[in-house]
Amino acid sequence: MSSPLARSPIPPGPATERDGWEVDARVPGGPLTLSDETPLAKVHVRAPFDGASRAALGVGFRRTRRADLGAGEVLVVGSGPGEWLVLGAPGTAGALRAAVEQRLAGTGEFTSVLDLTHGRALVRLHGAAAPAVLAGVCAIDLADAVTPDGSAFRTSVAGVVTDVVRDDLGGTQRSGAAASDNGGVRSYLLHCERSSGRYLADALLDAGRLSGLAMTGFRGLA
């Protein structure tokens, strides 16, 4: 008997299977794209705001970093006060949760580590015009000096509570508060409840229609 195939709330174009997920098979391309990244593993951590767990994860509130915690390269996001979101490759959620639990085991702090992979939706808005599209549905200042590459924040996007992560592709992530050019292409990950995933994707496509925003294939973290 074949294993169940997991599906995103966002309907794909031509579809293929990857690590137990149905993913959009189109080759990512075009100057301004929206891709469904829901198949990425999503592990949520709660721990004291500024303690040993924060040091173990290597990132604080409103910042991100790429690291290998023992289950391949992941993106660690300081998504809220005492909250972290760890994103990994499709099909790695179990291993990723175990790796995070092992890393936090020696902190002596009470922590909570949950696999939210199937309960959340995730999209990537990618392209030089991405800030202009996002500004149409989000009130946050997206200037480099305010939200540089590697920054994260939680806000309302088209009326949906969303974690927004600036994760430029092809450049060097800056750790400073201001950066005018990191050498990469502007890229934002937007993470919300699964039930709002399709609405959020449709709202972004509508906001970017005049800019040529198009749905494209799964990109992953690379």
Find the CATH number of the domain harbouring 162: 3.30.1360.120
Domain boundary among 92, 117, 142: 117
Residue 192 has pLDDT above 80, yes or no: yes
Average pLDDT, integer, range 120-141: 98
User: Could you tell me if 123 and 211 lie in one domain?
Assistant: yes
pLDDT digits (tens, 9 = 90+) for 54-84: 999 999 999 999 999 988 999 999 999 999 9
The lowest-confidence range among 12-21, 132-141, 180-189, 202-211 is 180-189
Task: Examine residue 169 and state whether it is found in any structural domain, yes or no.
Answer: yes
Pairwise CA distance, residues 7 & 24, whole Å:
10
User: Could you tell me if 130 and 110 lie in one domain?
Assistant: no
Average pLDDT, integer, range 82-102: 97
Average pLDDT, integer, range 195-201: 98
Pairwise CA distance, residues 194 & 93, whole Å:
17
Of residues 119 and 179, which shows the higher confidence score? 119
Residue 174 has pLDDT above 50, yes or no: no
Considering only CA atoms, give the Rg of the chain.
17
Q: How many domains does the chain have?
A: 2
Residue 1 has pLDDT above 80, yes or no: no
Residue 183 has pLDDT above 90, yes or no: no
pLDDT, mean over the chain: 93
Residue 176 has pLDDT above 50, yes or no: no
Of residues 182 and 156, which shows the higher confidence score? 156
User: Could you tell me if 113 and 195 lie in one domain?
Assistant: no
> 209: which residues sit within 8 A by CB, 6+ positions away?
none
User: Could you tell me if 22 and 49 lie in one domain?
Assistant: no
Pairwise CA distance, residues 155 & 171, whole Å:
25
